[in-house]
Amino acid sequence: MPMTAAPKAEWWQAFGFSDPQPGATTGRESLAYQGTPYANLSPVDGEPLPAVLHSGVAIYDQVVEKAQQAFLEWRAVPPPRRAEVIRVFGEKLRRRKADLARLISYEIGKIYQEALGEVQEVIDMCDFGVGLSRQLYGLTIASERPNHRMYEQWHPLGVVGIITAFNFPVAVWAWNAVIAAVCGDPTVWKPSEKAPLSALAIFSILREAIEETGVPEGVFNLVVGNAEIGQHMACDARLPLISATGSVRMGRSVAQQVAKRLGRSLLELGGNNAVIVTPHANLDLALRAVTFAALGTSGQRCTTLRRLILHEEIYDAFLGRLIRIYEQASQRIGDPLHPDTLIGPLIDKNAAAAMQEALAEVQKEGGKVLFGGEVLEGPAYRSGCYVRPAIVTAENHWPVVQRETFAPILYVLKYRTLEEAIALQNGVPQGLSSSIFTANLREAELFLSARGSDCGIANVNIGPSGAEIGGAFGGEKETGGGREAGSDAWKAYMRRQTVTINYGTDLPLAQGIRFEV
């Protein structure tokens, strides 16, 4: 597929980028660590992206100090008033949606339609946050003591640290920052080193909303840096909550450091998601869902379909149709900004190499590559980041299948009974997203019961990828147990306070205790 022309200077000028671009901001003020500018290569064509000055620990400390000062003021602002900046921000994003999506697509290789969807997710979070600002509800509790009233209320927690991954360079930040702001918490965001421009671009739009609404400097903060900044955040007692999205390895390190200081961690880590297809399934529906779940974002979603569990009765027919679909989809691999592209590049050459290593390992175990897997060559793929998606036969217990490879590899497994299929689904360390395709009510209900999927997300007749923001997003086991976005996920960003009021003249004690002086 042909490549688009090299990006023009106005792509970057639209967001006010300088060269090099300062790598830290406290909302109104940009800060720059006087170090060596760092520039990534676009996975689309291998060309250098605008350079960014990485922030060091000294700049990070300045940012956190400003965030702490902002908290003293921001926590006293009524929640509906806090949400005004979120409302204005969402309106501005609607006008800049295409510009931001184009930049995201070129920086990380996500196809343009998916990048538009990611920006729309941020807009949806803004709408959700505005509504949430009037719904931070507590509980009224019945007291056992006469003339006493008990209730719960929620207060802002403090400065929240946010660490995000490259594959959703703005949406995951919004899950956290929008809710935290409404709850009264300033945020300090460390984006992935692989996607700093997307972060800086959305912050330039946010800065306009901040200035228009008079939000104190330091409520929203951005620090671009390497892993040292992330480690510093995890150890920083000034950040009572760290929300971290990334690999299981990274999450373990963050969790250990935060636990040492008795802080809170909200972790969204790896996935190893499965789809079960039963003989009672609508196979056309299942095929469409499997295709997007396995190929979307070139297999670089935490909710990407990694394992396809097929009943033996439909195994051969379903697999044959799926391979034909992969053959068609592979004709549309290329420049993610081209409107006909379905599959863009991986984030970098290291990701392509990791895919090759995983395929070599699974074949050594005895698996067979039924389709694809190779790194593509030629002028249209000169970045070295384009791969053909792979379909591979495998066994669930193999080490390569037990871990997450962030690439479009689909392992195919066979089952006889639904109980066996559920055991395969649950038989990995991760527990993020899961799906079953069936028109049989009993099968669906078993999958959703306590004996069914052990994942944080369980779907029926819909794939594991593409969650709505209205529900709490997150998973169990090595996925970390965190919940973000909708439902009552806002409670993670606040502190609960139980209140008892005695409006009588006596002092009865709980549990009937008598203590007379």
Tokens found for residue 516: 């007379």
Tokens found for residue 314: 């439909």
Question: What is the separation, in whole angstroms, between the first and last Cα of the chain?
Answer: 88
Give the pLDDT confidence score for residue 16 in this predicted structure.
Answer: 84
DSSP state, residue 124:
H
**Cβ 100 vs Cβ 202: under 8 Å:** yes
Angle at 393 between CA 388 and CA 397, to 5 degrees: 120
Give the pLDDT confidence score for residue 4 in this predicted structure.
Answer: 53
Q: What are phi and psi of 489, to 5 degrees?
A: -60, -20
Mean pLDDT of all residues belonging to the chain: 95
| Residue-wise DSSP of 324-364 | HHHHHHGGGBS-TTSTT-SB---SSHHHHHHHHHHHHHHHH
Give the sign of the dihedral formed by CA 211, CA 216, CA 218, CA 219: negative
Give the pLDDT confidence score for residue 19 in this predicted structure.
Answer: 81
Told to judge if 268 belongs to the known catalytic residues of this protein, a careful annotator would answer yes
CA distance 470 to 488: 10
Q: In 216-301, at which residue ranges do the beta strands (DSSP E only) sit?
A: 220-223, 241-245, 264-268, 273-277
CA distance 119 to 432: 23
Tokens found for residue 37: 């500018």
322 Cβ contact list (under 8 Å, min separation 6): 287, 290, 291, 308, 391
Give the pLDDT confidence score for residue 31 in this predicted structure.
Answer: 82
**pLDDT single digits (tens) 463-500:** 999 889 999 999 999 999 999 999 999 999 999 999 99
Q: Give me the catalytic one of 114, 121, 217, 268.
A: 268
Told to judge if 302 belongs to the known catalytic residues of this protein, a careful annotator would answer yes
Q: Give me the catalytic one of 118, 121, 126, 302.
A: 302
Compute how many other C-beta atoms are within 10 angstroms of the C-beta atom of residue 143.
Answer: 16
List per-residue pLDDT tens for the chain, 517 residues long.
Answer: 444 544 557 777 888 888 888 899 998 888 876 677 889 999 999 999 999 999 999 999 999 999 999 999 999 999 999 999 999 999 999 999 999 999 999 999 999 999 999 999 999 999 999 999 999 999 999 999 999 999 999 999 999 999 999 999 999 999 999 999 999 999 999 999 999 999 999 999 999 999 999 999 999 999 999 999 999 999 999 999 999 999 999 999 999 999 999 999 999 999 999 999 999 999 999 999 999 999 999 999 999 999 999 999 999 999 999 999 999 999 999 999 999 999 999 999 999 999 999 999 999 999 999 999 999 999 999 999 999 999 999 999 999 999 999 999 999 999 999 999 999 999 999 999 999 999 999 999 999 999 999 999 999 999 999 889 999 999 999 999 999 999 999 999 999 999 999 999 999 888 888 887 7
Closest CA to 286 of 294, 409, 111: 294
**Cβ 418 vs Cβ 446: under 8 Å:** yes
**Cβ 224 vs Cβ 200: under 8 Å:** yes
SS3 219: coil
C-alpha of 295 from chain center: 17
Give the pLDDT confidence score for residue 33 in this predicted structure.
Answer: 66
Give the pLDDT confidence score for residue 14 in this predicted structure.
Answer: 85
Tokens found for residue 427: 């038989």
Give the pLDDT confidence score for residue 3 in this predicted structure.
Answer: 46
Side-chain-side CA neighbours of 302 within 13 Å: the count stands at: 30
Which CA distances in Å does 410 have to 159, 268, 469? Answer: 40, 22, 26
Side-chain-side CA neighbours of 338 within 13 Å: the count stands at: 19
